[in-house]
Amino acid sequence: MNLEETKHRGRNFIRKLLAHFYIQGPHVHHVCLVHEPLGTSADLLVKMSPGQAMTLDDLKPPMRQLFIALDYLHSECHIMSCIPTRAIFPDSKRLRSLGFLPRGGLPLLTDFGEARLGDKEHNDDIMPNVYRAPEVILKSNWSYKVDIWNVAMVAWDIVSPRTLINGKNTDGIFDDRVHMAELVALLGPPSPEFREQRQLSSVFWDESGNWKDVSPIPDITLESLAEKVQGEDKEGFLSWLRMALQWNPEDRPTALELLYDEWLTKGLGD
């Protein structure tokens, strides 16, 4: 991707490639990439924060810039497909004052090892287990909207000391049946249209849309899991999160729509 060919402001939040060179190995040439140096990653900042979670106020600036970067990537037909917290480098006055970041630092989106071209749909397995979108779990086609689901999961991880999804069965092994049961508890059942369009839905629901009890549906809600989330307007955050965490990819907002949501823009310019 040539960052010089566009005036999209999102290019400023993508880690730039400065140069490349080759090193001769025993059998082949190896390509070495030179990137601009980076500061502390989001996952380390979260671990260094009190309670191993940032506040909702600290979440907003990096999320705004992440969505601008994501809109840029999507406009250039690129799907990140996997956005871990280590790929985000947030900027915040509070964090800079603590010495975690240099003055004027900007959050950058990095790590494009799992990126895909968005000019066609994909169906391969992507994303860490706890971040996987429903269409990925059901091994159906996926496209740009997996990034929206992924960012919502990352946002939760930044402000909560526990992941939104546990997904482990009684043997401690990550299990798609447990994962889907947790999603049903948190989001409610998917629409008939969503189930009918995905063949593997029959593993989890019968023809009438009833859960097959492949795993017990836990007694959890977004509200109960957000008990330790700190910051103002927690209700607004959960509403924003629900918009992004839609079963059907077509129902998820675009990066720009989430960027301009009332909750995320509140406090902008203060």
* 103 close to 63: Cβ distance less than 8 angstroms: no
Model confidence, pTM: 0.82
Top-confidence residue, 238 or 104: 238
pLDDT at 110: 72
In which band, very low, low, confident or very high, does the pLDDT at 9 lie, cut at 50, 70 and 90? confident
Residue 162: how many CB atoms within 10 A of its CB? 13
Tokens of 98: 């603590």
Residue 178: how many CB atoms within 10 A of its CB? 20
Domains of the chain by start residue, with CATH = 3-265 (1.10.510.10)
Over residues 199-209, the pLDDT tens digits come to 899 999 999 99
Over residues 94-124, the pLDDT tens digits come to 444 444 444 445 677 776 666 656 566 777 7
Top-confidence residue, 176 or 111: 176
Average pLDDT over residues 214-218: 96
HEC readout, 111-151: CCCCCEECCCCECCCCCCHHHCCHHHHCCCCECCHHHHHHH
C-alpha distances out from residue 83 to 41, 78, 152, 259, Å: 12, 13, 10, 17
Tokens of 108: 């950058």
